[in-house]
Amino acid sequence: MPPARSFANTISVAVLVLLATNSVITAAEVRSGKQVYDVSCAGCHASGVLNAPKIGDEQDWSKRERQGFQVLLTHALKGYKNMPAKGGNPKIEDKEIEIAIKYILANSGLDRYQQTSVAKQAADKAAQQKKSVNKLTTQQTRKSSVNSFNRLMKSADEWNLPPAEDGIHDPDNGGTYMLQKPKQAFETLSWSKSGNRVDWVKALDNNEISPRYDRLDDQVKPIVMDLNIVREVKGSMPDVVYPHKQHTEWLDCSNCHPAIFIPQKGANQISMASILLGQQCGVCHGKVAFPVSECRRCHSKQKTLKAAAEGKQSN
């Protein structure tokens, strides 16, 4: 009986076979999933060498596919565990890798990855191109909007987009596709007509959420300051009320002081112009807190008749 081959030697032989097999892939044109699989993937995925999931194993591939197709694609493009990037052949096109994965999934019991007819593929491509043009036009229109900076003032079709499409998370990171979608996460929380459609203060008051005050120690309790600061404004608009309680229930004082607001009376010249530029209150509001379009949520203290009259005269 020949001596047992070491694990390191097994990997070396497998990689050499894979590289030798892939050496013929030099064509620039995009090939079919079967063509790419036969030349680049079958060396491991047909036999299951080095614990590679075998084509046709529906249970194994279904489990992996539940992570998200983008995760599978990222692993194949960049390499994962014993699998080298692009099967060891950097010349292979990214699109061919994507097609090959869909071929494997389609031949492992995941019927939704079955290739469509040539006619339907052409129609889908045309529809996608039209959609891309419309999306670009819409984006250009929004960029010219005075409130385009304000993420929470987007149109209804852009509320609570999936993480990979929200412009915040990295779509090239496979972990992004494992995050819960906002619409699913928010559906049981108190509703609001603005922002991301969640009334976070009410959700906190109703114990629908339990913010973690300290990143490392979940036993640390917040230091809540129940103090309202009233800021008088000119004109007939109600005065601004800043409630410390709602902020300190899940934020530390250092989140705002002294970098954003100097904790001293008269030291902060707050204006709507600076807020609209993403400064002062605008550091959070419009990005992760309700947008500045909700005027009455801040301008909530009605003036006395005398103060209102004086305000009108000053204008």
Q: What is the pLDDT of residues 113-162, one digit of tens each?
A: 875 434 445 556 666 666 655 555 555 544 444 444 455 566 666 778 88
pLDDT digits (tens, 9 = 90+) for 213-231: 888 888 888 899 999 999 9
**Scanning the structure block, which residue is given the tokens 């960049």?**
78
What pLDDT does 146 receive? 41
Q: How far apart are CA 25 and CA 32, in angstroms?
A: 13
Closest by alpha carbon to 70, among 58, 82, 78?
78
Structural domains in the chain, sorted by start: 7-113 (1.10.760.10), 200-314 (3.90.10.10)
Q: Is the pLDDT of residue 9 over 70?
A: no
Where does residue 18 rank: exposed (0-12), middle (13-18), buried (19+ CB within 10 A)? buried
pTM of the entire predicted model: 0.48
pLDDT of residue 310: 60
**Contact present, 25 and 91 (Cβ < 8 Å):** yes
Confirm if 56 and 107 have CB atoms less than 8 A apart. Answer: yes
Backbone angles phi, psi at 226, to 5 degrees: -90, 80
Backbone angles phi, psi at 15, to 5 degrees: -65, -40
- pLDDT of 73 over the 50 cut: yes
Q: Which residue has the higher pLDDT, 196 or 255?
A: 255
**AA identity, residue 99:** I
State how far the Cα of 31 lies from the Cα of 260, in Å rounded to an integer.
55
Q: What's the half-sphere exposure (Cβ side, CA atoms, 13 Å) at 222?
A: 18
Long-range contacts formed by 171-179: CB under 8 A, 24+ apart: 171/70, 172/74, 173/74, 174/67, 174/68, 174/70, 174/71, 174/74, 174/75, 175/71, 176/70, 177/67, 177/68, 177/69, 177/70, 177/71, 178/67, 178/68, 178/71
Q: Which two tokens stand for residue 298?
A: 């801040």
